Amino acid sequence: MPACPLTGGERDGRFGVFGLLLGRVQREGAGRNLTCAPQPEDEEDEEPALEELEQREVLVLGLDGSGKSTFLRVLSGKPPLEGHIPTWGFNSVRLPTKDFEVDLLEIGGSQNLRFYWKEFVNEVDVLVFLVDSADRLRLPWARQELHKLLDKDPDLPVVVVANKQDLSEAMSMVELQQELGLQAVDSQREVFLLAASIAPAGPGFEDPGTVHIWRLLLELLS
């Protein structure tokens, strides 16, 4: 039996180091990297290698409870979990498209993990930043963290997701745009604000907001 080349969080050096740092890794989802395929030398008749698809990296950040893990779950066709189970490290899924594979990496949003966010922001193609639209009290924290990331990489396209729009106390998009300070962002920069209700719609692409986010990501990554 060959040794599995990939353990959680060690898909490449970068994430592997991060996995070691945090000590605990959560991997969710789909994708062939979760399986331990036989190594070529084990095969008697070696088959020609399939053409590898290019990878695109998407970093998924936001305060704890904003819906990052739920987002990754629904995109990979899984139902949202009941209640909030914090991500104590990171969590990723790989989603194939016809032109490339999209790696979405969530880093947990609790306070002690936010320190690590900036270490990854220069390494990815797009940042998705989720906000709990009903969490009025913590919106200033979300704003502060978002702007730290914007400052860290002035060219990175950013998709801000105003999640939990299904809740009656959810702030409007106009209010969120203002409170998150998005109007003040450099006009040359690609920053999008999209509404979503990721969990109530369930797995797959049932929520029009989730469909919209995914389409935009594909466009930005192409």
Residue list for the binding site for Mg(2+) = 69, 87
Which of the listed partners (Mg ion, ligand GTP, none) does 80 bind, with a CB threshold of 5 to 8 Å by partner kind?
A: ligand GTP
| Residue 71: CB minimum distance to Mg ion, A | 9
Query: Considering the complex, what minimum distance in angstroms separates the CB of residue 20 from Mg ion?
Result: 20
Q: List, as residue ranges, the binding site.
A: 62-69, 87, 109, 163-166
DSSP-derived letter for residue 39 is P
Binding-site annotation, residues for GTP: 62-69, 109, 163-166
Question: CB of 95: closest distance to ligand GTP in angstroms?
Answer: 17
Binder of residue 167, out of ligand GTP, Mg ion, none (CB less than 5 to 8 A by kind)? ligand GTP
Q: Measured from the CB atom, is 72 or 182 closer to ligand GTP? A: 72
Chain contacts with Mg ion (rule: CB under 5 A): 68-69, 87
Choose among ligand GTP, Mg ion, none what residue 33 binds, the Cβ cut-off being 5 to 8 Å by kind: none
Minimum CB separation of residue 205 from ligand GTP in Å reads: 14
Q: How far apart are CA 59 and CA 85, in angstroms?
A: 19
The dihedral formed by the CA atoms of 63, 92, 11 and 43, expressed in degrees to the nearest 10: 170
What are the start-end ranges of the E strands in 79-125? Answer: 90-96, 100-107
Instruction: Calculate the alpha carbon distances from 53 to 21, 100, 129, 148 in Å.
Output: 29, 5, 26, 33
Q: What is the 3-state secondary structure (H, E, C) of 45-91?
A: CCCCCCCCCEEEEEEEEECCCCCHHHHHHHHCCCCCCCCCCCCCCEE
Closest of 179, 129, 177 to residue 153, by C-alpha: 129
Nearer residue to ligand GTP within complex by CB, 33 or 66:
66
CB of 80 to ligand GTP, least distance (A): 5
2 binds, among ligand GTP, Mg ion, none (CB under 5 to 8 A by kind): none
Residue 92 interacts, among ligand GTP, Mg ion, none and using kind-specific CB cut-offs from 5 to 8 Å, with none
Residue ranges that bind ligand GTP, judged by CB under 6 A:
62, 64-70, 80, 83-87, 108-110, 163-164, 166-167, 197-200
Nearest to 214 by CA among 52, 3, 71: 71
Pick from 39, 31, 30, 34: nearest CA to 9: 34
Contact (CB, 8 A) for 196 and 210? yes
